[in-house]
Amino acid sequence: MVRWWRGRWTGAWAGTLAVLAASAASAQERPLLRLLVPPAESLSIVGPQVRATGVLGANAIRELLDHGFPARLTYRVELWSTAGLFDRRQRSTQWDVVLRFDPVRRVYEGVRVVNDLATPLGTFERLPDAVTAIERPDRADIRASPGNDDPQYYTATLTLEMLAVSDLDELERWVRGDLNPVVRGRRNPGTALGRGARTLLSRLLGGEKRVIEARSEVFRLPRARG
């Protein structure tokens, strides 16, 4: 499968670049990251709800997906306390969502990865259906500190990275079930073509990575009734 992709990339190089260059200048949906704190009585039981919208809405990103470049979305949520002169980070959690297009079966595949444990998000024939699945609200596994009377708040960061030609070996391992290389970003040096493609695609995207952030309102845990 990897060899097939590489051959197709080499043959369609000029046409792909023309499409990407045109789409990069087109209108884009503004990406948003929302962070919703649970009700006061549930703050120490469940974590905040996180939802990203419009992250995969840019035409350039969708063209990259359709030409075999997987998208990796890395979510990181942190709990902070405002006591003292400086805010203090209490704890954090992180997970990844990987979306790729299988050119053989002509379907999009999504997977959510937490601590190297993968959960399939589904297989879709249409990109809009895949994006809908990727953008469903997710619950972060991080809860407010019980017994902490200080004001607290959550922050969330979403990093979008399009994996490049030099990532295809790692992607093949992902397809076989070994997710560590793709999720953690380890990759082979790649060929000169791969390095050149990565540089050009990075410019088309306006940077190799896109990062959006969100912050919740400040909250306090309800006092225990004596």
CA distance 117 to 121: 13
Residue ranges of the domains in the chain? 2-215
Alpha-carbon span 96 to 191, nearest angstrom: 27
The whole-number pLDDT of residue 214 equals 96
pLDDT computed for residue 118 by the predictor: 87
**β-strands 49-53, 71-81 pairing:** unpaired
Reference 70, options 167, 4, 150; nearest CA is 167
Task: Check residue 175 and give its pLDDT.
Answer: 52
Using a CB cutoff of 8 Å and minimum separation of 24, what contacts does 108-115 make?
Answer: 108/65, 110/134, 111/179, 112/138, 113/179, 113/183, 114/141
Q: What is the pLDDT of residue 154?
A: 96
What gap in Å lies between CA 89 and CA 76, rounded to an integer? Answer: 13
- Adjacency order of strands within the sheet including 209-215: 117-124, 107-114, 88-102, 71-81, 152-162, 209-215
Can you list the positions of beta strands (E) in 103-208? Answer: 107-114, 117-124, 138-139, 152-162
Helix (H, G, I), strand (E, B) or coil at 51: strand
pLDDT, residue 99, reads 93
pLDDT one digit per residue (tens) for the chain, 226 residues: 333 333 344 444 444 444 444 444 344 568 899 999 999 888 889 999 999 999 988 887 888 888 878 899 999 999 999 877 889 999 999 999 999 998 889 999 999 999 878 899 999 999 999 999 999 999 999 998 777 788 999 999 999 988 754 555 555 555 555 545 444 544 443 343 444 455 445 445 544 578 999 999 999 888 765 5
- Specify the pLDDT at position 215: 96
